[in-house]
Amino acid sequence: MPKKKKINKNPGNYNKQSLKQAVLGVFGNHPGKSFNHKQVSRHLHLRDSEIKKMVATVLEELSEKEELEEIYTGKYQLKSKGGYVVGTVDMKSNGTAYIVSEELQQDIFVNETNLNHALNGDIVKIYCYAVRRSKNPEGEVVEILKRSRETFVGTVEVSKSFAFLVTGTRVLPYDLFIPLKDLNGAKSGDKAVARITEWPKGVKNPIGEIVKVLGRKGENETEMHAILAEYGLPYSFPEEVEQWAEKIPEAISKEEVKKRRDFRNITTFTIDPADAKDFDDALSVKNLDNGNVEVGIHIADVTHYIQPKSVLDEEAYDRGTSVYLVDRVVPMLPERLSNMICSLRPDEDKLCYSAVFEIDGNARVRKEWFGRTIIRSDRRFTYEEAQKVIDTGKGDLDKEILQLHELAVKLREERFKQGAIGFEKTEVKFNLDDKGKPLGVYFKEMGSANHLIEEFMLLANKKVAEFAGLGGKSRRDKNNEQDDKDGRQKGKGKTFVYRIHDKPKTDRLEVFSKFVTKFGYSIKTGSSKAISTSLNRLLEQVRGKTEQNLIETLAVRSMAKAVYSTKNIGHYGLGFPYYSHFTSPIRRYPDMMVHRLLSHYLENGESKSANKYEPMCEHASEREQLAVEAERASIKYKQVEFMSDKIGQVFEGVISGVTEWGLYVELIENKCEGLIHIRNLDDDFYEFDEDNYCLTGRRNNKRFQLGDTITVQISRANLEKKQLDFKPAGVEKG
């Protein structure tokens, strides 16, 4: 928080210039308030009548120079150089905040007293004013336009006459006061959800009521539900939604079968994780007389069962996506749909929406067809089972799996030639006991079976997007219109839901490029193709090295985030000019949107309104981001829980982050991350060097730099804050 300017209480020391500075100090310390010359004189404790007269002159001159604004005769206010600006609150742990606004190039600093009860993530209107002593422009919140959340999660603390909900996060950096009559059964030590009912002006702590008790702090079920509630994500379905799901019949009518292309006699199978229950994609293989192979990519036909604007559809839209925590899946659709009716289980007739391709020996698509089908899966494979077939060349459906594997390898090679980037960050998994306690950590990596499924899903997503984006028409068997060389008819592009990924910003890429030189690597920052080629080379070079996870993480951070939009700019990371999400409608609402749009366009329907679909895309992107953050929070919680019985033990790690408050270190053994607070670097006074990602000792010149290996001791595991604290136990230069 900026320090208040000292006011000279000795009027004899003032000349005109120093008086101007003092007057500006009065206004700077009271932003948003107006004063006349008498009020300014009182603030400055002026007694000399000549100096008081000079104040009036100074106010006029400062107004002429536009340092102050005369809001009405004789009354002045600090001049706003940015005027009123709308932005989002980014609150810091100390209670201060920065307002992030697209209207300004710089974030605007707001001290705690000028936030006026705005909280992290709120959209606010602020009044900007110039404070020359501050590095950042400053401002004051004048109106809260939209609260980022209505409820807050924390631990209840009850005393004799009152209670508090303690959140311990920057989301609500103040304890929420709860009158005893509004506890609704909550007891000390309970995790609960509360909402603010009142927040009087000038009062630091808001007043609220408990709306839901989650359970006892520290219990797995309670903590997972608390994470979901913290991000505004549901963990159960309303009774009305479950009832609607129960009404959906499992039986498939003969009339429905007649409307569809029948794949039940063609070899078909699924490959999914061992613990999966929602099988939303299957592959079929049929060898053709011309030597090509017909590959069917069959996706659960969710939109056949869920009609637009129905109770089920509205619930799926609100959720946006399934949420994957460390110990569970919170599905987008009720389990009767996701795990039974829509799931492509073996030996059951299932309705699908399919992308069918005729592919030659070089993995080039010669013909394509999109439409509704009926399938019957012959076999359910886990990734491990399919991998064994690929590795040994033997097993169930070995010819089909090996044939698809060979095509997938060629598709993958071509994709990378065209500029795709091979991000495959190691996934952290936990071995949990029956109570959810982590017993061990292991790492999940992609194998050939994963790549097989990935390539055909990418192919379907790409081709569906091309069909809409290039204005394709229905490729019905009876269609006699002239096709282009790829089997696609040209026309005007239509409104569609794309998955877009912008190219990396130059400044981020240059920062990353500078960092990797420390390890002896380099990347090019020229054309898009040069960037992707050099990034792929870098990711290959670091594979298996100590710094692999760190460099992969920072490489991902240098990229833009992929989002949904009707405004297609292509997908940089995949190297596709057109890309969408078509293949997972059980767990992603955008895929349902794509299925509906595709059906409309296959019937030669007119282009839909982008103004309708763009807000839906933005909503889907927001829900996806919340789900990702919740997943990370659950992983962080389990990492801290796993390390909580290892206090005092020593581990080797890599410095994964450098800030003014300390060093973040990722342990090599289990990828758990913790913080060495700068106060625990007690052998010197360390200064933060932002440009070189390091802390440097003022006396001994010792440096702790991003990427250095360091030996640490576990000093504390704070489950409430999901935070590990380390102490240095020695450092070895990376």
pLDDT at 656 over 90: no
pLDDT band at 477 (very low <50, low <70, confident <90, very high): very low
Pairing state of beta strands 365-376 and 261-262?
parallel
Q: What is the mean pLDDT of residues 697-704?
A: 89
pLDDT at 359 over 90: yes
The pLDDT of residue 339 is: 95
Beta strand spans in 448-576 (E): 498-500, 563-565
pLDDT at 478 over 50: no
Domains of the chain: 11-78 (1.10.10.10), 84-146 (2.40.50.140), 151-230 (2.40.50.700), 249-423+445-489+582-607 (no CATH), 644-732 (2.40.50.140)
Is 106 in contact with 137 (CB distance < 8 Å)?
yes
pLDDT band at 241 (very low <50, low <70, confident <90, very high): very high
Question: Per 3-state DSSP, what percentage of the chain is helix, strand, and coil (rounded to 5)?
Answer: 30, 30, 40
The pLDDT of residue 3 is: 43
CA–CA distances in Å: residue 686 to residues 661, 701, 710? 10, 9, 16
pTM: 0.82
pLDDT band at 599 (very low <50, low <70, confident <90, very high): very high
Is 140 in contact with 111 (CB distance < 8 Å)?
no
DSSP bridge pairs for 153: 193
The pLDDT of residue 730 is: 58
pLDDT at 28 over 80: no
DSSP bridge pairs for 269: 283, 379
Top-confidence residue, 675 or 96: 675
Is 6 in contact with 21 (CB distance < 8 Å)?
no
pLDDT at 480 over 60: no
- Average pLDDT over all residues of the chain: 87
**Interval 372-392: pLDDT, tens:** 999 999 999 999 999 999 999
pLDDT at 73 over 70: yes
Residue closest to 371 by CA, chosen among 350, 354, 352: 354
3-state SS class at 665? strand
The pLDDT of residue 734 is: 41
What gap in Å lies between CA 364 and CA 495, rounded to an integer? Answer: 27
